[in-house]
Every structure is written in structure tokens, then in C-alpha cells.
Structure 1
Amino acid sequence: MKKLFIYIASASLLFAGCRDATDILPVDSVAAEGALTTPEDIDLALSGAYAAYNPQLIIQFSSRFADDLRFGNANGGQGTVEHNQTINAGSGVVNNIYSSYYAVINRANRVLEAISVIDSSDLTPEQLDRLSQIEGQALALRALAHFDLLTVFAPGFADNDLGVPYIDFVVILELPSRDSVGDVFAGILSDLDAADALLEDSVNIFLNKDFIKALKARIALYRGDYTQAIGMADQLIATYPLATPEQYIAMYADADNTEVIFKASRTVADARAGGLFYFTGTGGAFFEMSFGLFDSLDPADVRYDVLLDDDVDGGTIDPVSNPPETLFIKKYPGRDGQFGLNDLKLYRVAEQYLIKAEAQARLGQLAEAALTIDALRDARFGSDQPAPNYSSVLEAITDILSERRKELAYEGHRFIDLRRTRDLTGLGIVRNEADCGGPTPCELLPSDFRFTLPIPQAEIDVNPNIEQNPGYDTN
């Protein structure tokens, strides 16, 4: 979209929001020119809001900051701030995440504002129906962006924890303060309920009713509403089958959508997911899989084949006869001859099994949690596997975290999973000794303030109403 608001330094959270929609072009994205006075204009503006949504920022941060990567053989300083955990309020990665997600929110709010003032008296029934779908998607997108911000900038998920500014209006000169987590979740859930009443079923590159269920299940788990988490997960499990091993491999090559609820579609104009690890022009790896993650993988598990390029050391990797020197990542193999170009599978039914299992475990339903995990493992091995036998909640959660690590690797979950479970497990980030040393830390204690990202210094400097997160005031 064109610059539809006054571009001022005192609203750093909007910096990315004034870029043209052509900056990032997912499917059906084009620049919206002129005022938003027709349904067609507003539809184009919605494409601009989708265009601004860049989940790769959190995927990149989570992968580098936690324990699933190590510096690659072609690293020339890429990602050092995140991987060495030296982030502060001035770090570019922090500002990029904050400003990018608020850009999405601002664009969604402009769409909603335009719908609220459009003259509908001369519109056809088809145009009115399309406006309802646009409104539902804009509400859902606003909710999603606020939720993503909470996962990294809120110190916790309790209602009285410090959240982020919840913005349901077009910011021009306002300097918003931070709302409580409870208030932000209230806004998110209100948006999702309103969206659910408007949306119809649609393809998985657009936000739809099933996405709303999936996000609500994730929210319920994070907030400790385990009964609701199970209920929402069960609805999706009944609708979406788990992929077979063959379908699973095809899914990450963008050739199968069996278990995909919502994905961020990517074209050649977009930043490539493979670019999180490789120079996409030369294929050199500046990050590789950590030995910590590699050691957790079983070659009989299809996730081994999806995650690891195991044919790079003169033959198939064997820990004894052919130990790896390099652990190149294959999660985003590319498509149509475009190296590293793949859609981002953000909500899959596999996660719903993991949500259900964790919620069951936290409710003390240990046998039920074991069966839920067993169903996922059977699908990934392509054969019947022995069910785990959990004797305590801690044992169950530890095993489920391990399963989440393998299933959701390089999809933006690992850092968030470790930060939200550290009170129970007593663990922070613990890297394999082969993945760390020197300036690269081997452990981040669970009490470390860096489990919450700082509010960007650029925002602090110009917005007197914004409070910084604990631990960063003296950095």
C-alpha cells in the first residue's frame, strides 16, 4: 500500500507498515493504489496486510537463539547476535520483529476502518459477501499478529503479566502503552470470535475457521486452559489426518497439504525459508543442524529424512562408521528449481496432537497423553511403535518437549516452548557441548531475563508510555 499514514519517528512500531505491498508478495498480493473506496480497493489492501506478515522473523530468531542450530562451515558472522545470545534493546532482530508485526496490525486496521465507512448501498450481494470475508480475515490477521508479539515480548502468559500494546485502531500520532497479557488476549479472542462469525471455509493459504480453532487451541495451552485446548485440538484431529511418511516428505516440498491447516504462501519475490541457513545463491551453509537435535533423531523416523541432508559426507551418515562433519538442513528444500523456496507450514494437525498430549499430561491424564504421542510417532515411523509409559507429569512433559522439538524444528516453536515450560522442567537452553564454546554459550539459565525480548530501544526513545522489560534497563 502507499503511505496511508503520517510517517513519524515517534511511532517506530509502524516503520514497516508504510512500505508498499509490493515489498513482500505472497499469492494474490498487488499494490493497493489510491483511497480505499471500493470493495476491490479494500481487497487489494488486505493483500498488503498479508504481504506484511513475515513469520520467518520469529522462526529465524527461535532457531538461532535456542539449541537447534550451530554455526556452519560458511558462516562469516551471520546471526552471531542471536546465536551468541547477546541481544539487547538495540539489536536489529528485536526491532525487526516488533515493527514488522505492528505493520501487519496497522494494515489490518486500515482494512477494517475502510470497511466501516464504505457506502454499501450500491454494492451487489457478491461484493457484500466479499467484504464480509475480507473483514473476517483482517480480524483474524490482527489477532495472529498480536499473539505472535506476546509469545516473545511478554514476560509470561498470566493475565497480570505485562503484555504489548493492543492496537485496534489506525495509529497516526498516538503513543500507546503496554496492556496486560489478559487484556491483549481478550482483544485477540474477541477478534477471533468476530472473524469466526464472518468467515467461510477457504483454502489453507488464507485465514479461515479451522485456523481460528488451531490458534485458539495454542492459546488455551499457553494460558493453562487445558480442557479447552483438548477440545479444540480434538475438533481438528477429527478433520485432518496425519500425513503418511510419503506425504510428509511431499508436504515440505510443497507437493502435499494433507495435514496443513494454514501456511504462509511464498513466491520467488519473497525471502526464502532456506535463506535462514544458506546463501541461496551459492548454497553455502552459515548455519547447520545442531548435534543436540541430530542426536535426538532416529533414521527410521521420516523427520530425519525431512530435516537432514544426510548425503553430504561421502555417503549416508552413520554415527560410528561415517560420523558427520557437516549437518546440512533439508527442511526447506525448495521447489520448481528454486533453492530454499517453500511455503511456511505454520499450523498443522501434528501440532494439535502435541497440544492435546501436553494438555492431557498437565491434567494428570498420563496414559491418555502417552496414547496421543504414540499416534503421532506411529505416523512418523510408518509403523506401530511402543507407546511411552509416563510415571509423572514432569516425565511426560519432558518427552513431549522432545517430540515437539523433532516435529516442529525450524518452524518457530523451540524458543517459545523452552521459555513457557522452564518453570516446570527447571531447564533453560542447554546446548550440546559440540555446538558451543568460546563466545557461543552452552547454557541459558531458566531465570535469565533474555527469555523475554526487549522492547526496541527506538520505541523506548520516542514513546514515553512504553515500559521496558525487566533486565534490559541497564544494558
Structure 2
Amino acid sequence: MNKNIKNWLFVGASVALMTACDSRLDVKPTQSIEESTALATSQDVEVTLVGAYDGLASNNLYGGAIQYSGDLLGDEAEVRFGGTFSTLDELWRKTMTTTNTQTQASWLQAYNAINRANNVLASLDKVEASKKSSIEGEARFIRGLIYFDLVRLWAKAWGDGDNNTNLGVPLVTTPTRVVGPEDNRSRATVAAVYTQILEDLTKAENLLGNITNAGFASKNAAQAILARVYLQQGNYAAARDAANKVIASDQFALTESFGEAFDDATNDSEIIFKIIVTDQDGSNDLNTFYAPSTFQGRGDIRIQAKHLALYSAGDTRGSFFVKASNNNYTAKFLDQYGDVPVIRLAEVYLIRAEANQRLGTSVGAKPLDDVNLIRGRAGASALASADLNAILAERKLELAFEGQQVHDAKRLKKNVGTLTFSDNKLVIPIPQREIDTNKSLVQNPGY
């Protein structure tokens, strides 16, 4: 981990504090505080956890960048990037440079949020006994989720070569508080990063309770992300079982209509984990780039006829678009202050359907029943039978523009346009500033 990461990570985020002496007006300005003071009480640790959530919600992470990066990288001429940001244009054209400031910002923000989680986990002895399990579980969930998307975007996909030798991302599981030579971390292997991800999410599952607010980690959220991780690894039995736990918990239900799943007033039953956005806090860069100016967006990501042609007659998902200036835009993110969904129940049903189909099982439900449940909600006609291709086609339609495009292409070993799934151009380069200041880091092939 290089000095650029370290500068973001000092004591979870260095703060300027005013220390009272004999009176409120007799103060000493300081630039940083000692660990023993910064994380001395249970409340201090809880505040740091809030900071970890705040880092997670950055527009450079799950406030938009993680999702649009996956979709622009995986696009096959179904959208067009028509904006002026060269950083996003590089993602869409698969012409990324090592000096791309957007991917650099995402990398730095990811390690910033990880360090906040690490600070929480290193200070659990200060936490009140009644809160300790929950706080540890939430911090582990945040760390595991971020590492999963870091390794998916900045490294070769699971199964693309040898996971035990392919380079993943630096693994940092202890707080960075004082910068030293030991902080020049090399990249762990893809296998090692996935091991850490599974450890964090499994412990989070065991430590947390069922959902109370989808904006915070829960047992259900950990199970849902575990299902996503196992699916990426091709561990279909584990993916099926994790997905089935979420569904069988009876904590969730599909919204009555597809559109309601993207309306904060109606989607509480379906959203398992989300980023909370208000007019005072949080960012929704999916609105910024996917919505037209009539809905406060930039209108940079425009839906093309190739994508619109995928929907069958009667499927309301095929009309869930808006038109502005002769361009089509998804209607999923029209609310400037709408919460950003990270994972929804519909995806969990489709994970269970795919895993059951691949294994020839029907744990929880038959694959056909799960697929038709999703289709029925969208107004599409029921299928008489469902093979793997039908399930994957349903997944593509249901989860369009939610960040899974390139990851699905890689795990399914499908081309992205003229590029093979293993092409180096589908892996984001390590930021050049990181390479320049940390000689232990090795750049991705092709850059």
C-alpha cells in the first residue's frame, strides 16, 4: 500500500480537534490525535463505524462508481457513453490508462473505507458487550464487500488462470496509523483475497441479526453478498444455499410491480442492502450519469436499440425507460436523492435459479418457478421450461445497469464485443501513482 493510500488512512481519517483546557476559550489546536484518545470509548468506535459507512457511500464506491464501472466495462454496444468525462469514456471504450483519475479515486476511497473498518475491528475491546457482535459484523461486512469488488475490477477473474498465482489487490487487515516501510504492501493473490472476503462475510453472517434497515449490514445482507461471491467462484451449491437462506428468512418480498423496486416509497420489502442518500448526505452518481437533465442527471449513458430489442412484448421492463433529446435512458435511477440499491431480492432468486439449474436440484423451488416469479412480476409471459440460457437471459434483463455486466461476462467466459472474457483490457490498471510510490506493487498485464 503506497503513500497515497496512507495519506487517506491516517487514524481512519485525520481530524483537526480543539482540546479544551480551563475554559471553552482556552484551546489548543492539534493536527491529529493519539490512538488511545481517538478510539478510547465505545462511542468513539461507533462513530468510526459510521465513518466506514460514509466511505462506502462515496460516489467513488457504491454511490455509483462500482456499478457503472462494471457496466461500462462489460458493455457490448447496448449503451453509448456520450458525456465529456474522458475517465468514464475510457471505461466504456476499454481504453483505460494508468492515470485515469476516476479509477484512482475509487481505489483510494476503497482503502480509506477499509481502514476505517480496520480501526473498528482493532478496537473491539473498547465496545460495550451488548454491541460488540453487531459492530464487528458490520465492519467485517463493509470490508468484505469492498474487497470483493476491488478484486473483481482490478484483478483477473476467479478461474481466469491460476487463482493461487494471479495477483489480486493488497490485503490490509490492520489499521494504518503511522506510515512506515511495512506499509508498502504487495498484491495478495486472487485466492488469498477471496479467502479474506469469505472469512469476513461468513463472520458477519454469524454475528449480525436479521435486517432492520437496509442501509446497514445485516445477516441477510451478508448472506446475499455471499451468494454473489460464491456464484462468481462457480461454487453453485454454496451460492444456492446462501440465496435460499435469504429467501427462506421471509424478511423480504418482491414489490408488486417492477417499477416499484426502484422507488424509495415502495421498495422496502425488496432491497436487501442499499446506500442511503438524502438531500444533505450521500451521493447517487447512477442518477448523475444514467438520468437525463429533466431528472437532474447529465444523461451521459444512453440506452441503445440493441438493448431495447431484448425485451419481449408485455414485459414492463422493456418500457421502463424515459426519452429526452431523442435518447433513451433507464428509469431505474431518476430520483436525484434516491437510495442506491446494492443487492435486491430479485437477484437472489435468480442466483438460486441458476445454481439449482446447474446442479440439477430444486432447493427452495424449481428453477422454472423462480424465473417465472421474476417474469410474472414484470408482466412477461410465463415460460413452459427454463434451461440455463433462459435463466441467464432473465438475469441480464432484470439486473441491467446494476453493475453486474462485466462480472457475468467473465464468470460465464463470454466475449465482450470483440474482446475475450480474459482480455487485459477488461481489468482496471493499478493507479500509476500507487505504482510510482510503492515499488512492491506490480502493474496488471497490458499496462
**TM-score per shorter chain, which class?**
0.7 to 0.9
Identify the match of residue 198 of structure 1 among 192, 207, 213.
207
Amino acid at match of 1:414: Q
Q: Percent identity?
A: 29
Q: Spell out the pairing of 1:27-426 with structure 2 (5 A cutoff).
A: 35-53=38-56, 54-55=61-62, 56-67=64-75, 68-72=78-82, 75-77=83-85, 79-116=88-125, 118=126, 127-158=128-159, 159-160=163-164, 161-171=166-176, 172-173=179-180, 174-201=183-210, 202-238=212-248, 239-246=250-257, 248-256=258-266, 257-268=268-279, 269-272=281-284, 273-278=286-291, 283-298=297-312, 300-306=314-320, 308-309=321-322, 312=324, 325-334=326-335, 340-363=336-359, 368-381=366-379, 385-390=382-387, 396=388, 398-422=389-413
Amino acid at match of 2:438: N
> Equivalents in 1 of 2:206, 2:297: separation in Å?
46
- How far is 1:242 from its partner? 4.4
> Equivalents in 1 of 2:234, 2:84: separation in Å?
42
> Equivalents in 2 of 1:12, 1:284: separation in Å?
30
Alignment RMSD (CA, Å):
2.8
> Equivalents in 1 of 2:251, 2:296: separation in Å?
38
The residue that corresponds to 2:29 in the other structure is none
The residue that corresponds to 1:10 in the other structure is 2
Post-superposition Cα deviations, 1:267-291, rounded to whole Å, max 9, x if no partner, equal 2233223102347686552221122
Identify the match of residue 454 of structure 1 among 423, 426, 429.
429
Post-superposition Cα deviations, 1:256-276, rounded to whole Å, max 9, x if no partner, equal 212211111112233223102
> Equivalents in 2 of 1:267, 1:455: separation in Å?
32
TM-score (norm 2): 0.82
Which structure 1 segments of 5+ residues have no match?
Answer: 1-8, 23-31, 121-126, 314-324, 335-339, 391-395, 431-442
Q: More deviation in 179-188 or 217-226?
A: 179-188
Amino acid at match of 2:404: H
The residue that corresponds to 2:18 in the other structure is none
TM-score (norm 1): 0.77
Q: How many residue pairs are counted as aligned between the two chains?
A: 403
The residue that corresponds to 2:25 in the other structure is none
Post-superposition Cα deviations, 1:34-66, rounded to whole Å, max 9, x if no partner, equal 712121121111111111112111112123233
- How far is 1:97 from its partner? 2.3
The residue that corresponds to 1:435 in the other structure is none
Cα distance change of structure 1 residues 286 and 156 upon mapping to structure 2, 3 Å threshold: closer
> Equivalents in 1 of 2:292, 2:383: separation in Å?
41
> Equivalents in 2 of 1:362, 1:416: separation in Å?
18
